[in-house]
Structure 1
Amino acid sequence: MLAEGGWPAVTTRAVAERADANVGLIHYHFGGLPGLHAAIARRAGDEVIGPVVEALLAAPDAKDALATLRRLLPATTGDDRVLRLAVELMAGAGRDPALGQALRDGLREARGRLAGRLGELYPRWPPARCTGAATVITALVDGLMLHYLLDGELPAEQALATLGELIGFGDTASILAPPNGG
């Protein structure tokens, strides 16, 4: 419902009709409309960021994680439903503190899981570095998704290839060389 009509479409009555349930039951179970919205925000957040986080966590090393991003980003940004959910989550979080908290909690959990995985991959990294890297990765994915929503011709593949080069997984000499060979 959220992807179909945004937050205005998500009412206890509409959810009850869709679920073929009593409105009072929906209201009671979620503690009213704010609780229903928070539960939907959590579920939608899991749907938007969950697959990407799970795939990154399954990558055996950083190079494979970057390849995973390069593979997943076009699929994620090509899914109109996921993009609409992402936009509605951000818009709702800006208007409603409870929705903002639900989204923050989900992002913090994702960053924490990524930081934990980075700690496993790089045991010499201090926790602050793992946390910082997880924050950059999460922001990168969110940013590329939002930019793609605004510009369907976004060169995301080129951006991720350049990222790989900058972090040492490609030809960094071509990136760091002055323009025109000079």
Structure 2
Amino acid sequence: MTHEDHRASTPRGRARREQLVRIGLDLLAEGGWAAITARAVADRAGTRPGLLHHYFNGLPGLHVAVAQRATEMIVDPVVDALLAAPDPPAAVAALHDLVPHMAAGERNLRLAAELLVRALRDPRMAAERRDWSRGLRDRITERLAQLRPDWPAERRAGTATLCTALLDGLLLQLVLDPGLPTGPALDAAAALVAKP
């Protein structure tokens, strides 16, 4: 992923790296990926453009860090609530509460749209997104093994794939139609994890 040497592991280095990622997020929300240039980040940070090489191994590394952080902000709260739910009905209730907020507000809407578009156009970002999706599917499969140990492994894996696709698909639909009611889709998905 990103490059960090000993200076980036100090408290001051971590704070500077965090500042650069926040600036990258702001620029992404304001003007898309094209707005995140070494010069623009350096100007906002009050530093020199070469600092990106130190903390991120260059601009592409910063882009990956920004995409990771945007995903953490937009999708991870939904995933965490889903996986922390004690049972499927609680998971569905958590999704009902959180999914509509994934792309709520102009900032999240822009960030979500940029994440999706970039993953389609940039092989490195596509690989990052693929790895994130695989990790998510694995986590959901593990949770289903706890909640539904009677299900065959194939059913748990298939349900995890559908849950991941549901989150991605709803995020895309919310980007395209921010007022979309997500409840009916979530209710339909709940039937997938109901006991036969």
- TM-score interval (norm. to shorter): 0.7 to 0.9
Instruction: State the SS of the aligned residue for 2:75.
Output: helix
- Aligned partner (choices 180, 183, 191) of residue 154 of structure 1: 180
Q: Is the 8 A contact 2:109 2:175 kept in 1?
A: yes
Q: CA deviation at 1:158?
A: 2.7
State the distance in 2 between where 1:42 and 1:145 align.
Answer: 16
After the TM superposition, which of the residue ranges 112-121 and 16-25 deviates more from structure 2?
16-25
Q: Which aligned runs of 4 or more in structure 1 are off by greater than 6 angstroms?
A: none
Counterpart of 1:38? 64
Instruction: State the SS of the aligned residue for 1:23.
Output: coil
Counterpart of 1:133? 159
Is 1:28 the counterpart of 2:54 in the alignment?
yes
Q: What amino acid sits opposite 1:28 in the alignment?
A: H
Q: Is the 8 A contact 1:46 1:106 kept in 2?
A: no
Could you state the TM-score of these two structures normalised by the residue count of structure 1?
0.82
Counterpart of 2:170? 144
Q: Percent identity?
A: 49
Gaps of 5+ in 2: 1-26
Gaps of 5+ in 1: 170-182
Cα distance, 1:46–1:152 mapped onto 2, change above 3 Å: closer
Counterpart of 1:173? none
State the distance in 2 between where 1:94 and 1:69 align.
Answer: 26
Is 1:65 the counterpart of 2:62 in the alignment?
no
Q: Is the 8 A contact 2:74 2:103 kept in 1?
A: no
Q: How does 1:60-139 map to 2 (within 5 A)?
A: 60-139=86-165
Q: Which of 1 and 2 has greater Rg?
A: 1
Q: Is the 8 A contact 1:83 1:145 kept in 2?
A: no
Counterpart of 1:172? none
State the distance in 2 between where 1:143 and 1:124 align.
Answer: 28
Cα distance, 1:75–1:120 mapped onto 2, change above 3 Å: same
State the distance in 1 between where 2:96 and 2:56 align.
Answer: 38
